[in-house]
Amino acid sequence: MTDRPGDRGARKDSPEFETTAVTHAEQPSHDERAGDVTMPIHLASTYEVDGIDPDVSLEELDPEENQYLYSRLSNPTRHALEKRLAALEGGDHGMAFASGTSAVVATVTASVSPGDHVVAFDDLYGGTKTMFKELFCDRLDVAVDFVDARDTDAVSDAVRDDTALVWMETPTNPLLRLCDIEAIASVAESVGATLGVDNTFLSPYFQRPLELGADVVVHSTTKYLNGHSDSIGGVAVTSDDELADEIGFLQRVGMGNVLAPFDAFLTLRGLKTLPLRMRQHETNAAEIAAYLDEHEGVSRVYYPGLRSHPQYDLAERQMDGGGGVLSFELDGDLEVVQRFVAELDEFALAVSLGGVESLIEHPASMTHSPLTPEEREELGITDSLLRVSVGVEHPKDLLADLESAFERLD
Ligand SMILES: *Cc1c(COP(=O)(O)O)cnc(C)c1O
């Protein structure tokens, strides 16, 4: 996993990843009046037009030409963010939503019709799994089969001629399971299905599914892309013009759940440091994973950057880094887990991930509490499992905090 996006020279005639993250779609010339070097927060809900011209259709208004009509349809701050996110994922179209959840629901809705079949990873983000079951299956007559996509054969066995969508996440939450995007892309293609990948856990800095054959990528920008735990948002990126039209219709008209200008500004600002943050998240996570792996108070560590990860070879091939999230099993019961977490100072007990500060959470009672105990057992989520979103603090302080919590357990 030494191949950084900036090293691979895949896009020779465009700037490197780090440069795109800082300035793409935010050049000083964008606002000709003041020459701001950053995109202003455009709060206006509506824009003055040049005059009444029955020959100009609203569809033809081009944000690239600074033509705006109404902010739900297009807004300069949101437009800059959408362009930058598309560029970072290597896609042609980006659409920013009010949450990751709304990016997922719009992308799935754009890809399926009632009566269609979907194949999805059985280890999806909780909200997405509930959405598939309770919205698409129960109310919209879409059949969804959940399979263990670590095994590509399970995906090829499940797809059918009427499969319209294959939906993947990799690595998954909280057990950091991987699926082979490139192999699954050819399975999806063989039945003419769209492949969507939720790339939230790694960000485009460490994994770019479109390059591996996915048709559309979504993110909860709430996590690494914004990176500071102060905004809820989402994005869908694709190079498929037709799919982009469908998702764009849902974003602007069908659902109208666009990202607000202030959140677009925060995310544009967060993106500038994405490569720096991701490198530090990974360095810190790798150190903590290695420390926990050796610790006698820990029975198991899940981190794709560890050689002991069962899919380490796939991680090496598919990802440019192990990311910043890891999980581990404490050697003890729920009471030991409660005491351990209470002893930590540097890791706030909180759900979510991808911010600069370290967080720890207990999946069984927090993110995965809506599941039944049987469902949790089937997935391998025990009462002694903890998930850590490793921040960008100095690793020495994080390790010392963990060490003192272990010492006080004895
Ligand atoms: C958080 C998350 C979501 C949902 O995003 P929101 O911004 O909370 O709506 C979807 N997928 C993954 C993998 C997530 O971590």
Taking only the tens place, the pLDDT of each residue in 94-139 is 999 999 999 999 999 999 999 999 999 999 999 999 999 999 999 9
Whether the CB-CB separation of 296 and 410 falls below 8 Å is answered with: no
- Reference 389, options 161, 231, 269, 223; nearest CA is 223
pLDDT-derived band at 13, boundaries 50, 70, 90: confident
pLDDT of residue 138: 97
pLDDT at 371: 85
Catalytic positions are 72, 125, 198, 223
Question: Would you say the CB of residue 226 lies under 6 angstroms from ligand 1?
Answer: no
What is the pLDDT at residue 229? 98
Distance of CA 400 to the CA centre of its chain: 30
Sheet holding 298-302, edge to edge: 298-302, 325-330, 385-389, 359-361, 348-349
For residue 50, the model assigns a pLDDT of 84
Q: Is the pLDDT of residue 12 over 80?
A: no
What pLDDT, in 10s, does the model give residues 225-272? 999 999 999 999 999 999 999 999 999 999 999 999 999 999 999 999
pLDDT of the residue at 27: 75
* pLDDT at residue 29, rounded to an integer: 59
Q: Would you say the CB of residue 257 lies under 6 angstroms from ligand 1?
A: no
**Interior/surface letters 83-99, b for 16+ CB within 10 angstroms, e for the rest:** bbbbbbbbbebbbbbbb
CA 228/CA 354 separation, integer angstroms: 8
Q: How far is Cα 104 from Cα 98, in angstroms, rounded to an integer? A: 11
Could you give phi then psi for residue 363, rounded to 5 degrees? -50, -40
Work out the mean pLDDT of the chain and round it to a whole number. 94
Q: Which atom of ligand 1 approaches the CA of 222 most closely? A: 7
- Which tokens go with 300? 């198991």
Please state, as a whole number, how many other Cβ atoms lie within 10 Å of the Cβ of residue 70.
Answer: 14
pTM for the model: 0.95
| Other residues' Cβ atoms within 10 Å of the Cβ of residue 365 | 12
Task: Among 125, 203, 221, name the best residue to mutate to test ligand 1's pocket (greatest count of ligand atoms within 8 A of Cβ).
Answer: 125
d(Cα 169, Cα 77) in Å, to the nearest integer?
Answer: 29
For ligand 1, pick from 104, 200, 226 the residue to mutate: most ligand atoms within 8 Å of CB.
200
Q: State the virtual CA torsion across 209, 214, 215, 220 in degrees, nearest 10.
A: -40
Closest-lying ligand 1 atom to the alpha carbon of residue 354: 15
- Residue-wise pLDDT for 209-223, tens only, equals 999 999 999 999 999
What does the pLDDT look like over 260-308, one tens digit per residue? 999 999 999 999 999 999 999 999 999 999 999 999 999 999 999 999 9
In the predicted model, what is the mean pLDDT of residues 183-189? 98
For residue 236 and ligand 1, the question of a CB distance below 6 A is answered with no
Q: Is 99 in the pocket of ligand 1 (CB under 6 A)?
A: yes
The secondary structure of 298-365 as a DSSP string is: EEEEE-TTSTTSTTHHHHHHH-SS--SEEEEEESS-HHHHHHHHHH-SSSEE-S---SSS-EEE-TTT
Beta strands in 29-181 (DSSP E): 93-97, 117-121, 143-147, 163-169
DSSP bridge pairs for 163: 117
User: 234-238 and 216-220: which strand pairing?
Assistant: antiparallel
- The CB of 203 under 6 Å from ligand 1? The reply is no
- Cα atoms in the Cβ-side hemisphere of radius 13 Å centred on 370: 8
Mean pLDDT within 350-367:
97
Distance 101 CA to ligand 1 centre (A): 6
Average pLDDT of the residues in 12-18: 85
Q: Are strands 143-147 and 325-330 parallel, antiparallel or unpaired?
A: unpaired
* Coil/strand/helix, residue 17: helix
pLDDT band at 5 (very low <50, low <70, confident <90, very high): low
**51-61 tens-digit pLDDT:** 888 888 877 78
pLDDT at residue 6 tops 80? no
- Taking the centre of ligand 1 as the mean of its atom positions, its distance from the CA of residue 257, in whole angstroms, is 15
Q: How far is CA 25 from CA 28, 62, 83, in A?
A: 9, 14, 6
